[in-house]
């Protein structure tokens, strides 16, 4: 199956999964458990949506690997692994904020960001109905409209960031924000990394940086950004990951990395 076919499969599944997430949200959300710290919640819907995605992929692509936020990792035999965040922006979702996404990426190679090649990625917001997608070498799209990262004007950059669930990490995150402030006109904190990355690809944000992301947070969104002409790395370089993720057009990306790593 070529990358475009993988993207089509991800689009169909993301939309079905998003419809389930939206219906469960409308019916009321139950917190199922906490994970790393008390603020790191998982809802029953997170688990149910990931189970649906995993089941659909297993039928369509038996033998592929899977790496999901809620059900963990399973190695495949085909060289393709699906990296899935069933509801990215879980806290937004739990509070009823319409800013969360189903994020599905198909990667080739070892299921570790520095080692994989992303082939297809989909980020779908069930609350707005917007779907962002990309195929390696095929560009990035929002519901049929071609996407391109922005060029920053003289007023400075509009940049998004995020903060980890562990309060012990907030002082360091805020110190990093202070380093970036001279570059920006304003900050945004959306609460869903996949949508932050999709918005960079769409030019709705000039840039984004965040420490502490998991592979499923950035797998699809990073492909959107690079296929829209942007750059996504760690800091000061390397693959995006737990240490840092920085995404922007080339000129701003270099300035953000320089400020963050100073
Ligand atoms: C979230 C990210 C967000 C980050 C949160 C959390 P989740 O993912 O999308 O950018 O700031 O700490 O990691 O937990 O909603 O899938």
Structure confidence by residue, pLDDT tens digits, 7-53: 999 999 999 999 999 999 999 877 777 778 767 777 889 999 999 99
- Single pTM value for the model: 0.96
Return the CATH architecture of domain 157-261.
Answer: 3-Layer(aba) Sandwich (3.40)
- Apex 53 CA angle, 7 and 229, nearest 5: 30
Task: Quick: pLDDT tens for 68-118.
Answer: 998 989 999 999 999 999 999 999 999 999 999 999 999 999 999 999 999
Distance of alpha carbon 20 from alpha carbon 69, whole angstroms: 17
- CATH number of the 3-146 domain: 3.30.540.10
Helices of type H across 40-114: 44-60, 90-95
pLDDT of 35 reads 79
Q: Which ligand 1 atom minimizes the distance to the CA of 217?
A: 9
Residue 66 reports pLDDT greater than 90? yes
Does ligand 1 come within 6 angstroms of the Cβ of 227? no
Pocket probe for ligand 1: among 169, 191, 246, the residue whose CB has the most ligand atoms within 8 Å is 191
Distance of alpha carbon 106 from alpha carbon 12, whole angstroms: 14
How far apart are the CA of 212 and the centre of ligand 1, in A? 9
Residue 152 reports pLDDT greater than 90? no
Which residue in this structure is represented by tokens 């139950």? Answer: 30
What confidence tier does 181 reach under pLDDT thresholds 50, 70, 90? very high
**How many CB atoms lie under 10 A from the CB of residue 230?**
27
pLDDT of 161 reads 98
Task: Quick: pLDDT tens for 193-232.
Answer: 999 999 999 999 999 999 999 999 999 999 999 999 999 9
Domain boundaries, the chain: 3-146, 157-261
Q: Do residues 157 and 183 lie in contact, with contact meaning Cβ atoms separated by under 8 Å?
A: yes
Residue 1 reports pLDDT greater than 80? no
pLDDT of 132 reads 98
Nearest C-alpha to atom 11 of ligand 1 is from which residue?
A: 162
């Amino acid at each position: 199956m070529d990358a475009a076919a993988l993207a089509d499969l991800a689009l169909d599944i993301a939309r079905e999964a998003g419809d389930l997430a939206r219906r469960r949200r409308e019916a009321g959300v139950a917190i199922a458990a906490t994970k790393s710290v008390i603020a790191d919640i998982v809802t029953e819907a997170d688990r149910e949506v990931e189970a649906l995605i995993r089941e659909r992929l297993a039928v369509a692509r038996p033998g592929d690997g899977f790496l999901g936020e809620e059900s963990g990792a399973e190695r495949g035999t085909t060289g393709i692994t699906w990296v899935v965040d069933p509801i990215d922006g879980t806290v937004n979702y739990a509070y009823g904020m319409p800013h969360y996404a189903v994020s599905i990426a198909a990667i080739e190679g070892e299921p570790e960001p520095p080692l994989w090649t992303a082939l297809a990625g989909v980020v779908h917001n069930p609350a707005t109905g917007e779907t962002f997608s990309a195929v390696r070498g095929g560009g990035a799209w929002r519901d049929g409209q071609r996407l391109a990262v922005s060029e920053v004007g003289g007023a400075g950059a509009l940049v998004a960031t995020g903060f980890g669930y562990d309060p012990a990490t907030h002082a360091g995150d805020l110190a990093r924000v202070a380093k970036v402030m001279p570059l920006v006109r304003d900050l945004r904190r959306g609460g869903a990394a996949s949508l932050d990355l999709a918005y960079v690809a769409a030019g709705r944000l000039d840039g984004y940086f965040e420490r502490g992301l998991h592979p499923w947070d950035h797998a699809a969104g990073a492909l959107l950004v690079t296929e829209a002409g942007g750059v996504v790395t760690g800091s000061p370089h390397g693959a995006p990951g737990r240490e840092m993720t920085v995404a922007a057009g080339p000129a701003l990306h270099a300035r953000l990395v320089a400020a963050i790593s100073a």
